[in-house]
A and B are shown apart, each in its own frame.
Chain A
Amino acid sequence: MATEERLLSVRGLSKAFQLRGRVSRRLVALDDVSLDVRTHEIVGVVGESGSGKSTLAKCLVRLVEPDAGTVEFHARDVLSLRGRELARARRQMQMVYQDPYSSLNPLMSVGAAIAEPARVHGLVRRGAEGEHVREALDVVGLNAALAARRPRELSGGQRQRVAIARAMAVRPELLLADEAVSALDVSIQAQILNLFASLRDEHGVAIVFIAHNLSVVAHIADRVNVMYLGAIVETGPTKEVFAAPGHPYTAALLDAQPGRHRRRTADRPVLRGEIPSPLNIPTGCRFRTRCPLAQDVCAEQAPPVVDLGGGRTARCHFASRHIEQSLSSR
């Protein structure tokens, strides 16, 4: 796709929350996060709890104001926008949430929920809402007759489709999907994943797809960002990253995927320990407390961003495309 251009560009995004209490503590949610989204591209963000992936989504639409860094959308700094400009940028970046049960107003009919944002943004004339709602429902593969229903009369999958229809109704250029399929059953999850792929293919929308489930991200994303404790530790084209991870955390995450090993044996090396608290991030490399490759240097120096070629980078002192071999030889 030669027409691909940079749509969203994030540089050095950082956010820490001050927790009040007897002792004031600092929770580091994001630390120097950079990522790019091109038009028509699906960019995955994968990480476990505490990785900061949800804070990232909130910073992008300015629900949370970052402490440092820039977010450029169409080469305009989103963080400095005010008033109508901000409203316009918001329209072009729409969120889809995890829980379709709570993101829809239970008292509002499906049609009204979809028509409202379009009307507020002046995208549709009064009286023409019906047609607009029909189109939006058609985009997500729902029957137009559902417009009269209330959310509680719909199944979980239908509700998530309505939430997506509402987001698509204002003709955004970017969808931010925050765990958008995590609450769904496998068979429904597959339908919604296919829907996201078709929105990109047929309507040209770019998608930032945030999820904890690696296989979901691996399936849908063109490029992937792996987050750990508030930082992106590895990024690159999805297929290549998961075929030959460059960061030991990516390798461990991949190895921990259920079903990857057909027979579970007790002695297979598993990632030791738990994710440290974001209140107390390890010095040097944040992954070193669990890393099988950790050396003294990892505690002393923060690892550099190593360019692995082909648009791939990893934040590790020992980053290489053969990290799995180093891991298994240990």
Chain B
Amino acid sequence: MSVVASDQDQLDAALDRRLARVGRRSARWRRFTLEAGIALIALVIVASIVGEFVYPNPNAQDLAQALLPPSLAHPFGTDNLGRDVLARTLAGTWIDLGVALGATYLALVLGVVCGTVAGYFRGWPERIIMRFVEVVLALPFMVLVIAIVAIMGPGITGVFVGLTIGGWGFYARLARAEMLVLNEKSFVHAAQTLGYSHWRVMWRHAIPNLIRPSLVYSMSDIVLNITWVASLSYLGLGVQPPTPEWGSIIADGQSYLLNAWWISTLPGLVVVIVGIGFSLVGDGLADRLRARRAVVR
């Protein structure tokens, strides 16, 4: 509080004006953010579709062509077995994006449902669910995922399950917090007084109103999960050779980093592009949703 209330108010008003100005400027940039993000992701996906046709067999070896630097024939060069790095990178898109998206959204659905149930019913369902959440969130993510992969055995399934189990807790916590707020809203009471079932109140009335923060968060979660899939494969815990996958391609190229830099670097660049793409979509989406919320007052 400053001098007199009225001075404080004037300060607030000035601040509001400035924020509004900044807001307007960045609104234009934000619009661009969402579209730029979508464009980057689309670029990689389209390229991978095209790749299916251009390189029907990404694992085709040609030892005579080993370790060639990038050229028109091999834009990303070739690896030590003479395989085209671009072909393998594009083929890996499906595995990396698929596992990352799948694990993220399975975690989101699981987390949002559990969190909503916990926040809606309170009492013992909440205590049980949130106890699990605490356990999941208390363990370091990496340790948890690696432990699960170790139990399930290396491979895509292990990575998928590991990322899902490691990831749902945060969504549950987010959804529960939002549900606690909605519990106070009279449209939730209204739905209850109209005799709708608990399931319906949660599914139709609460979840559409609480899922936005989770959706926004899921965008950055996808980025993390893509790097996790790649990292786990890099460590030899994920996708097994010779299946093309970004992490394993990068890992394979590692020993040739000094004399054939392209094997690791160029696929790494693709990972970065996809990561930036999802981050931009996340930012843009967050702002869009916030703007919509503001309209709703």
A interface residues with partner B (beta carbon < 8 Å) = 20, 58, 61-64, 90-91, 93-95, 97, 103-105, 108, 113, 116-117, 120-121, 166-167, 170
Which B residue sits closest to A91, measured CB to CB? B4
B window 1-41: CB within 8 A of A: 1, 3-7, 9-10, 13, 24
Which B residue sits closest to A113, measured CB to CB? B1
Q: What's the dominant secondary structure at chain B's contact region? A: helix
Partner of B10, one of A63, A121, A167: A63
State the CA gap A144–B79 with chains docked (Å).
84
State the CA gap A120–B7 with chains docked (Å).
12
Number of A-B residue pairs with CB-CB distance less than 8 Å in the complex they form? 38
- Tell me, rounded to whole Å, the shortest Cβ–Cβ distance linking A56 to chain B: 15
Q: By the criterion CB–CB under 8 Å, are A94 and B24 in contact?
A: no
Tally chain B residues at the interface, Cβ within 8 Å.
10
Q: By the criterion CB–CB under 8 Å, are B6 and A64 in contact?
A: no
State the CA gap A311–B24 with chains docked (Å).
48
Q: By the criterion CB–CB under 8 Å, are B9 and A94 in contact?
A: no
State the CA gap A44–B9 with chains docked (Å).
23
Taking A63-B13, A64-B13 as contacts, is the C-beta distance between A95 and B3 under 8 angstroms? no
- Residues of A close to B6: CB separation below 8 A: 61, 63, 90, 93-95
Which A residue sits closest to B20, measured CB to CB? A20
Q: By the criterion CB–CB under 8 Å, are B24 and A116 in contact?
A: no
Which A residue sits closest to B11, measured CB to CB? A63
- Residues of B close to A58: CB separation below 8 A: 9
Most central of B4, B7, B24 by chain A CB within 10 Å: B4
- Residues of A close to B4: CB separation below 8 A: 90-91, 94, 117, 120-121, 170
State the CA gap A62–B7 with chains docked (Å).
10
- Residues of B close to A20: CB separation below 8 A: 24
- Tell me, rounded to whole Å, the shortest Cβ–Cβ distance linking B295 to chain A: 11
- Residues of B close to A62: CB separation below 8 A: 10
State the CA gap A208–B7 with chains docked (Å).
19
Partner of A63, one of B1, B3, B9, B24: B9
State the CA gap A79–B193 with chains docked (Å).
54
- Tell me, rounded to whole Å, the shortest Cβ–Cβ distance linking A52 to chain B: 17
Q: Can you list 20 pairs linking A and B with CB atoms under 8 Å apart?
A: A20-B24, A61-B9, A63-B10, A90-B4, A90-B6, A91-B4, A94-B4, A94-B6, A95-B5, A95-B6, A97-B5, A103-B5, A104-B1, A105-B1, A108-B1, A117-B3, A121-B3, A121-B4, A166-B5, A170-B4
